[in-house]
Chains A and B, each alone.
Chain A
Amino acid sequence: MKYTEEHEWLRNDDDVVVVGITDHASEQLGDVVFVELPEVGTQVAKGDEIVVIESVKAASDILAPVDGEIVEVNEALVDDPAKVNSDPLGEAWFFKMKISDPSQMDDYMDEDAYKEFIG
């Protein structure tokens, strides 16, 4: 598992990366009430805002961690956004994307580095 400074977790399954947000991020956001997902088939560039999360406090985004194509989205979150709080590392993955350049994954933190990052 890799981690971004935007508190996303990335799990690389054979060059398809599954993306979610960390426990820490879910806690900071507070109760999530709305999730907007990208469309399957969309080509995205690293840094694009592709998911909108609204919590009771505010709106925030998930950025595309790498260049690639969205191959699957977790529609269950649209109907039950609270999953993002109850199981951020499991059931509440947001999307899967096919990586164009696997070396982009090297930029991200491992678990120890992420733990240090959030203090």
Chain B
Amino acid sequence: MSDTLRTTPLHALHNELGAKMVPFAGYEMPVQYGLGVMKEHLHTRAAAGLFDVSHMGQVIVRAEGGYEAAARAMETLVPVSLLGLKENRQRYGVFTNDEGGILDDLMMANRGDHLFVVVNAACKADDIAHMKAGLPGCTVEEITDRALLALQGPQSEEVLARLVPDVTEMRFMDVGVFDSPYGALWVSRSGYTGEDGFEISVAADRAEAFARDLLADEAVEPIGLGARDSLRLEAGLCLYGHDIDSSTTPVEAALEWAIQKVRRKGGEREGGFPGADVILEQLENGAPRRRVGLRPEGRAPMREGTGLFDAAGDDEQIGRVTSGAFGPTIGAPMSMGYVPADKTQTGTVLYGDVRGKKLPASVAQMPFTPARFKR
């Protein structure tokens, strides 16, 4: 580990905007701006928020045989149908290990002649090494000269369309390349807040001008990592290294929806990814534990690491909270965590150990706030 933090192309702008900067995944990143976490969160749900996610890894995978060959190779690393992914569409998935655990979660897009991948900042060096080793015949190129911005919230379409009119044609999980005053923008209609929105890759030397023009719109506020975390948690989305990691399988993590039928037992391209034996068996029979949402009673948040118990008087811990915070939109605390398979029913009351007191929390549906994607 180096002591020197990396910075993104928007670093000077963050400072100018009065951001509080913190170390995150080897980068110096804005955790909040002047509004503070709570108002930034609420503003994103009400209007539009601009996030700098340039620390994430942008990777292009190419093969001699074009997208199809790259997709076929990549399917050996992820339990996802990439051959079934149409041009200019994107899919969520996970890299798995031989035990069925999750190495990282990522987005993968069919960009016609190549596969475009976005991975988590903390995992990107490992992910790229993993792809280079695991994708023979492919070239794996990390894109280091582009920033990545996310514009999220109900007004994000209106805002972005003022600069790039054609984005109104996109639906949730569409991707496209658009000419703009900021050069070619690689746009996907997606994000990690549960809101409609876009992730936009822009040349590093045009990123600040682009961000300034977005922020000039009165609907847009800059949003830091603090609100990004509470937004994704309200949306029921996993944070790698917390809710999912190399010891949790996609079935335990309740991510079955990300594994298409064609890669499951009896499917045309059944298995063929690391840990397939474990994951396919769990898809059939379930896993011993499962990620669920929890709504604590009262206002006290049950944070990451909180032990979960079957009854207030029990000493035997049965589960653990992996993310927990106060949800500004729901006006109440919310958590997610792992519990035994027979405790996953909505409404099941469990007890979380908060500062030595066992406080009740009910298993709850996720997302905690309804998703508002443009399907």
Contacts and interface: CB of A to CB of B under 8 A. Distances in A.
Nearest to A56: B37
Contact of B226 (A30, A52, A54, A78): A30
A114 interface: no
B232 to A, nearest CB: 14
Interface in B270-323: 299-301, 303
A48 to B, nearest CB: 13
Nearest to A54: B301
Contacts of A57: 37, 226
A34 B326 contact: yes
Interface size range on A against B: 10 to 19
Interface string A2-32: 0000000000000000000000000000110
Contacts of A36: 300
B176 interface: no
User: Which secondary structure dominates chain B's binding surface?
Assistant: mixed
Nearest to A52: B355
Contacts of B333: 33-34
B118 to A, nearest CB: 27
Nearest to A81: B299
A33 B299 contact: yes
A59 interface: yes
Nearest to B327: A33
A30 B32 contact: yes
A56 B325 CA distance: 7
Interface in A52-86: 52, 54, 56-59, 78, 81
A23 B333 CA distance: 25
A78 B301 CA distance: 14
Given A56-B230, A56-B326, 9 more contacts: A30-B36, A30-B38, A31-B36, A31-B39, A33-B299, A34-B333, A52-B355, A54-B301, A81-B299
8 contacts: A30-B36, A31-B38, A34-B333, A54-B300, A54-B326, A56-B226, A56-B326, A59-B303
